[in-house]
């Protein structure tokens, strides 16, 4: 895609799933990619193995790779992460806010600390990273691009995932507000809203019967692949989308089209 060759990109939460696919797609387009990850102690070995595999795939594309560990919900971690990337490469051109978690629980049973953790990573983390990226973009010529990985649940309520839905709704407004505020500075801010996607965070993808049940609610009749989300992320971050800002592109097989209206049951 036009305008990605030689760019420096930071992708948060890039060790697996959609984040990993986005990192690899940017590398295939000729961009240098810094991958951020954060893991708990009991997941350390598995995550590091995935990070190393991702870095190997990025290097195979003939571009630069960089690993930056950080908890995006912590201001000091985010500041250090950006400092590491900018010191290593001299500049950052594109930020992809992908890091995110979710937890299922009836809303009346959702513990405050779980609520805070999900909001902290999904929304506060996107804000903190965006703020650092904006400061850098404004400090030098050339503008920049921020891509927020949201969800169809930015606009579709998801019972028993209250904090996740709130975080994605907030991310939508984060996208629009920053896009409006910095449009005249050469800075674009967009988002993608993945629908049901076969990734490790969605464990139903490993069980064919459950995956088919999910697919039955999607007009196109199938779940999405991480690579399809990555293609849209690369497009919106590229010069091909130079006149697009403040938009969230839903990549969902038609899920946001009110799937229950495929058959005309209303008068």
- Supply the residues annotated as catalytic: 164
Count of Cβ atoms closer than 10 Å to residue 1 Cβ: 19
- Residue 238 exposed, middle or buried by CB count within 10 Å (0-12, 13-18, 19+): buried
What distances in angstroms separate CA 156 from CA 11, 147, 171, 246, one per listed residue?
25, 20, 14, 19
**Is the distance from CB of 171 to CB of 123 less than 8 angstroms?**
yes
Cross-strand pairs, 148: 97, 191
CA distance 157 to 147: 22
Task: Tell me the backbone φ, ψ of residue 54, rounded to 5 degrees.
Answer: -65, -45
Give the number of C-alpha atoms closer than 13 A to the C-alpha of residue 81, restricted to the C-beta side: 30
């Amino acid at each position: 895609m036009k305008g990605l060759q030689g760019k420096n990109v930071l992708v948060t939460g890039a060790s697996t799933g959609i984040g990993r696919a986005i990192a690899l797609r940017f590398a295939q387009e000729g961009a240098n990619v810094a991958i951020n990850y954060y893991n708990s102690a009991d997941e350390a070995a598995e995550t590091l193995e995935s990070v190393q595999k991702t870095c190997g795939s990025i290097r195979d594309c003939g571009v630069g790779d960089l690993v930056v560990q950080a908890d995006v919900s912590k201001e000091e971690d985010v500041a250090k992460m950006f400092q590491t990337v900018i010191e290593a490469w001299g500049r950052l051109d594109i930020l992809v806010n992908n890091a995110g978690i979710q937890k299922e629980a009836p809303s009346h049973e959702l513990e405050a600390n779980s609520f805070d953790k999900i909001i902290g990573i999904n929304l506060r983390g996107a804000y903190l990273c965006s703020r650092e990226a904006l400061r850098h973009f404004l400090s030098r010529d050339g503008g920049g691009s921020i891509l927020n990985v949201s969800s169809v649940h930015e606009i579709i309520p998801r019972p028993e995932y209250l904090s996740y839905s709130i975080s994605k709704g907030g991310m939508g407004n984060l996208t629009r507000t920053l896009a409006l505020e910095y449009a005249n500075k050469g800075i674009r801010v967009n988002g993608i809203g993945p629908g049901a996607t076969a990734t490790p965070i969605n464990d139903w993808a490993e069980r064919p019967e459950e995956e088919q049940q999910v697919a039955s609610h999607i007009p196109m009749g199938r779940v999405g692949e991480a690579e399809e989300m990555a293609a849209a992320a690369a497009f919106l971050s590229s010069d091909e989308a130079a006149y697009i800002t403040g938009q969230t592109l839903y990549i969902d097989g038609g899920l946001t089209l009110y799937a229950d209206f495929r058959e005309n049951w209303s008068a």
